[in-house]
Amino acid sequence: MPIDPSRKKLVFILGIMPRSGTNFLSNLLQIHPDCATPRKVWEDYVLSHADQLASYSRAVTAHWDSDWGVDELTRDGFDTALGKGISQFLDGGKDIRLTITKTPSVQNLDLYFRFFPKAPLLILVRDGRSIVESGIRSFGWRREAALHWLSREAKIIVDWVRDHPRAENGFRLVRYEDLWNEPVKALRPLLEFLELDTERYDFEQASQLPVRGSSDLAEQQDQALHWDPVEKTDAFNPLSRHGSWNGFMHYRYQQVCGEIMQSLGYPQLEMTRIPWHWRLRSLILDGLWLLKKPLRPIYRKLNGIREPGQ
């Protein structure tokens, strides 16, 4: 029997950054027989560019006269209709109750409920050191730029969660480490939040889920990064990506990202002894970053370089 359209939902997964584990979370949810993903669109990025949709909405509704009876509810309804159109495209007409779509970015998070007021949202975060190191290995990120990028994205999440205390029933903040360390404990409340029958979920399969897109495995096998399934072994540990970091790398991470990441549940690092040359080097990097900031757009435009996340 076909699924009642009123019972179908689209759930968005937004990762704090690339390499945060959005594929992992999506694959875990897809174990449930009531879940599927869009046929062709692996990462939708619809919210990342929703500022343009908001501009369109403002331009259109600016022509609507209040004498016609147009009010804020009318304008809100227009925004919701735009979101429904996008949702129907991503749903693809599948006869499935829950379609999972994902983006490794939280850009325009403040517009989420404007266009998707009824769609459940999962915001995925991860230890920033693992994200940065994985991005360096996978995509050649520059460490300093990646740290500041991480800090910006974390602040977007922290500010949004602070400003939406009443939206708790519409979203969940998910930690990658919880999914990896205790999948049953972490997944059960997520399934309940998404109104999925936990009795129909194979938790054993979740614990044995193959590894996809790992920078560690790509290096070990001397291959380019790929998303083909690889059997997980006891030796594989994605939580130790930053194990090769030296003391200054941890200190610099702490200086740039420590406080904001603590707000997302990642305790600041305890560093009892900080050499003076670490402090000096970090101050120099701060100065260089401030100097680069106004010049960076010009440099990137002249050299045809895209900012990470664009």
Domains of the chain: 5-241 (3.40.50.300)
Please spell the DSSP secondary structure of the chain, one letter per residue: -PPPGGG-EEEEEEESSTTSSHHHHHHHHHTSTTEE--SS-SS--TTTTHHHHHHHHHHHHTT--GGGT--HHHHHHHHHHHHHHHHHHHHTT-S-SEEEEEES--TTGGGHHHH-TTS-EEEEE--HHHHHHHHHHHH---HHHHHHHHHHHHHHHHHHHHH-GGGGGGEEEEEHHHHHH-HHHHHHHHHHHTT--GGG--HHHHHTPPB-S-HHHHHHTT-----S-B---TT--GGGGGGG--HHHHHHHIIIIIHHHHTTT-PPP--S---HHHHHHHHHHHHHHHHHHHHHHHHHHHHTPPPTT-
Task: Quote the pTM value.
Answer: 0.87
Q: pLDDT in tens for each of the 310 residues of the chain?
A: 556 566 678 999 999 999 999 999 999 999 999 999 987 888 999 999 999 999 999 999 999 988 898 999 999 999 999 999 999 899 876 678 899 999 999 999 999 999 999 999 999 999 999 999 999 998 999 999 999 999 999 999 999 999 987 666 799 999 999 999 999 999 999 999 999 999 999 999 998 887 665 555 445 555 555 556 666 656 667 788 888 999 999 999 999 999 999 999 999 888 888 999 999 999 999 998 988 777 767 666 666 655 554 4
